[in-house]
């Protein structure tokens, strides 16, 4: 039985479905989670469909989370979207259901679940959810709210269709979502908009950014800077693409200091694969977009040097 059929069989079997995604969500995590939920709610109105995890106010325009009691996991189907490994799943009750399904587009380095559908060539998990809908278009409905959520996820994970993960299939899916009612202009404006504090942080990134001999850009966002601008660590995701706008930069890393003094490491690339560097530092992800951790300035320097070495091999 293929993944599509196995997942649909489970969806039809269970009267209660609870959908999770990863911690510190981005538009694709929320978009794929909410998009799938809205498809299932429209298609199976007699079923109970919930989305769970920490509610993120800046993504409420995509969809809000449900608060549910633990008893609802009894005899429930649990689906996890856009989450590579179990430790990153938001809401630790995910393993209390009757059956667990993983739908993801990251490299499958840490498999989990009773059913696993992983396509690491897909631009986003939202694109995968649309393909699932498309496969069963005669049985499923695609409401406008689902189309908007999935379009938001695709836009987020492709960097407005500028990242290498964007394929002809991605553009066909985006067009189909627009035909289904997704407001492309509104979604793109919403994802591109920033607050005044984020505008000031953007200026800080460009002012403080350093570039190595092999065109690796790097910058640190410390606790003092974020506190001064009244920004949370989660809000820094808006400035992650900025170094890549510099024509000469081939890859970049942003170090975001956490409350304990350690650093969350965000890595991006226009060409050289950087997920190997991420794996060296308790992280992982896509070849062009990964995350890792650094405990101190020494490890930060090590990451920069490793990225520079990777970039030097392209010269």
pLDDT in tens, 29-87: 999 999 999 999 999 999 999 999 999 888 999 999 999 999 999 999 999 999 999 99
pLDDT value of position 315: 66
pLDDT value of position 207: 97
**Its pTM surpasses 0.75:** yes
pLDDT value of position 285: 86
Which of 4-8, 130-134, 141-145, 272-276 has the weakest average pLDDT? 272-276
- Chain segment 150-176, per-residue pLDDT in tens: 999 999 999 889 888 899 999 999 999
Pairing type for strands 77-81 and 99-104 reads parallel
Evaluated on CA atoms 135, 10, 78, 47, the torsion sign reads positive
Report how far residue 125's alpha carbon sits from residue 152's, in angstroms, rounded to the nearest whole number.
11
Residues 227-263 as b/e (b if ≥16 CB within 10 A, e otherwise) read eebebeebbbbbbbbbbbeeeebbbbbbbbbeeeeeb
pLDDT value of position 176: 98
pLDDT value of position 286: 85
- pLDDT tier, 184 (very low <50, low <70, confident <90, very high otherwise): very high
State the average pLDDT over residues 235-258. Answer: 94
Nearest to 173 by CA among 224, 218, 137: 137
Instruction: Check residue 141 and report its DSSP letter.
Output: -
The token duo for 115 is 């059913």
Q: Strand, helix or coil at 285?
A: strand
Q: Which residues, at least 6 apart from 253, have a Cβ–Cβ distance to it below 8 Å?
A: 216, 217, 218, 265, 266, 267, 268, 303, 304, 307
Mean pLDDT, the chain, as a whole number?
Answer: 95
Report how far residue 126's alpha carbon sits from residue 280's, in angstroms, rounded to the nearest whole number.
28
DSSP strands (E only) in the chain: 16-20, 48-51, 77-81, 99-104, 115-118, 210-211, 216-221, 251-257, 263-269, 284-285, 289-294
Q: Strand, helix or coil at 49?
A: strand
Report how far residue 278's alpha carbon sits from residue 60's, in angstroms, rounded to the nearest whole number.
30
- Chain segment 265-309, per-residue pLDDT in tens: 999 999 899 999 999 999 988 888 999 999 999 999 999 999 999
pLDDT value of position 211: 97
């Amino acid at each position: 039985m293929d993944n599509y059929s196995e997942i649909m069989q489970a969806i039809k079997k269970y009267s209660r479905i609870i959908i999770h995604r990863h911690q510190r969500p981005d538009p694709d995590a929320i978009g794929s989670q909410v998009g799938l939920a809205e498809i299932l709610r429209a298609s199976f109105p007699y079923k109970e469909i919930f989305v769970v995890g920490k509610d993120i106010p800046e993504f409420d325009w995509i969809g809000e989370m449900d608060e549910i009691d633990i008893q609802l996991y009894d005899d429930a189907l649990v689906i996890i979207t856009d989450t590579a490994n179990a430790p990153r799943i938001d809401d630790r009750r995910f393993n209390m259901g009757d059956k667990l399904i993983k739908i993801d587009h990251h490299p499958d380095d840490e498999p989990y679940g009773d059913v696993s559908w992983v396509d690491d060539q897909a631009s986003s998990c939202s694109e995968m959810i649309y393909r699932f809908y498309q496969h069963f278009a005669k049985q499923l409905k695609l409401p406008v709210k689902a189309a908007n959520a999935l379009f938001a996820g695709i836009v987020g994970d492709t960097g407005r269709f500028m990242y290498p993960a964007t394929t002809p299939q991605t553009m066909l899916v985006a067009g189909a979502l627009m035909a289904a009612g997704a407001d492309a202009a509104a979604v793109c404006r919403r994802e591109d908009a920033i607050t005044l504090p984020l505008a000031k942080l953007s200026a800080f990134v460009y002012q403080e950014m350093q570039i190595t001999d092999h065109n690796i850009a790097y910058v640190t966002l410390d606790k003092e800077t974020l506190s001064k601008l009244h920004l949370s660590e989660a809000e820094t995701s808006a400035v992650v693409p900025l170094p890549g706008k510099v024509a000469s930069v081939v890859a970049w890393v942003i170090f975001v200091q956490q409350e304990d003094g350690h650093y969350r490491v965000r890595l991006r690339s226009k060409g050289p694969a950087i997920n190997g560097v991420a794996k060296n530092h308790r992280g992982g992800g896509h070849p062009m977009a990964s995350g890792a951790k650094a405990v101190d300035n020494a490890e930060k320097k090590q990451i920069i040097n490793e990225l520079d070495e990777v970039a030097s091999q392209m010269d």
